[in-house]
Structure 1
Amino acid sequence: MIGAHTTHHKRLTGLTPTVLQQEIVECRSKVEKLSQAPCQWFAWPFGRYSDIDEAALSLALETYDLVFSSDGYPKYTGHQGRVLNRRHIEPYWPARHAKFFLRGQRV
């Protein structure tokens, strides 16, 4: 699984359309060129909804199959199921820890 995370790790708020294109769309092209594999997923820097505006989120949804956030832990959220909340889970954690982080309400 290969995903993108912007070209320069900028907060995606208040940026011009040209800069958004560089950060979101061109990043995908660069990742695909380097990896020689499709890049269908995107996680925006810092992960909070306050770190991305509507223009950037719309462009990300146009460019990628799925977009990931690390915000909204109490609930799983999504724009028609295409913006997913990531959960940090380590493979060595006991199962009860994973269940704790995955117990959120789905909306």
Structure 2
Amino acid sequence: MRKRLRTIFLHTVGSIKRAKPGIHIINSHYVSAKEVNEEYNYRTFDAYLKDLNTYASFINLEEATSNILQNNLPKKKVLITFTFDDGFEECYTIIAPLLEKYNCRGAFFINANYINSDKSYQQGFNERVAITTKKPMTWIQVIDLHERGHLIGSHNLDHSNFANLSIAEIDFQLKKNKEILEEKLNYKCEYFAWTYGQLQHFPLEALKLTEKYHKYIFSGTNYRNYFSYSGRVLNRRHLESNWPKSHLKYFLSFKKKH
């Protein structure tokens, strides 16, 4: 009942809301929650971008991050940047090509052990993220995204919840994932988004460790503020492209605080 009432509220209120000017960092994972045919996913994500593009301009995460940190925020324009967590195959086959169609590049936060993993590892990974039928990208695909100008960030090695790990385990998950990405892509990995995204999943000790390895750190929560942890973390808003348009407009309608 509570879920139904929430859906009715978002549909009703969201249908009359408008996105507020500012920079919106969107946090997504896939086109649809379950594996469906590629044509359906293509049409769904294309329609999502087409609708957003009627009232927003798309920018890359590097530009968004720089402008937010410098408090260079638009007063009239709605600017959106797209980030995707985990590294599902449709990031390469559907999402990246359509972002490029709209002259945009995405940011993909990768769990290195998931890429090119076997079916046994994939099953455990998908259970951790509450997905049952997804497949990961290959390293060839991740490298190709990087070479095409998309940003590849770190998301920890195994999609672990840092709130449940020791300091030594957190350090290993951070350090090893960064090392693998940098070796595979021959670049410096400065962007990190923690798994599960809420503040309770990222204690202060984890933040201190992460700052040793990465310059820019992103949450998936506290979206009405640009920052958490006194400016040390940039916040993202969780949205998926298969959500109703009214829900998207509702969540983008809040004036954000710097």
Q: Could you tell me how far 1:54 is from its partner in structure 2?
A: 1.4
The residue number in structure 1 matching 2:234 is 84
In structure 2, the partner of 1:67 is 217
The CA distance in 2 between the partners of 1:50 and 1:13, in whole Å, is 7
Q: CA deviation at 1:80?
A: 4.9
Separation in structure 1 between the aligned mates of residue 249 and residue 190 of structure 2, nearest angstrom: 25
- Unaligned stretches of 5+ in structure 1? none
Task: Say if 1:40 and 1:73 are closer, same or farther in 2 by CA, change over 3 A.
Answer: same
Residues 223 and 256, structure 2, Cα contact 8 Å, conserved in 1? no
Displacement, 1:46? 0.8
Which entry has the higher C-alpha Rg, 1 or 2? 2
Counterpart position of 1:58: 208
Q: Would the aligned equivalents of 2:217 and 2:232 in 1 still touch at CA under 8 Å?
A: yes
TM-score (norm 2): 0.35
Deviation digits for residues 18-41 of structure 1 (CA, Å, limit 9, x no counterpart)? 211111122111111111121101
Structure 1 length as normaliser, TM-score? 0.78
Could you tell me the percent identity over the aligned residues? Answer: 27
RMSD value over aligned CA atoms?
2.4
Q: Given that residues 87 and 102 in structure 1 are in contact (C-alpha distance below 8 angstroms), is that contact kept between their aligned partners in structure 2? A: no
1:22 to 167, 172, 189: 172
1:54-80 CA distance string (max 9 Å, x none): 111111122100100010122222345
Q: Quick check: 2:224–2:256 contact (8 Å CA) kept in 1?
A: yes
Return 5+ residue gaps in structure 2 as ranges. Answer: 1-150
Match of 2:191 among 41, 52, 72: 41
DSSP 3-state at the match of 1:2: strand
Rounded to whole Å, the distance in 2 between the matches of 1:102 and 1:46 is: 23
Match of 2:154 in 1: 4
In structure 2, the CA distance between the partners of 1:53 and 1:99, relative to structure 1 (3 Å rule), is same
How far has the Cα of 1:14 moved from its partner? 3.9
The structure richer in helix per residue is 2
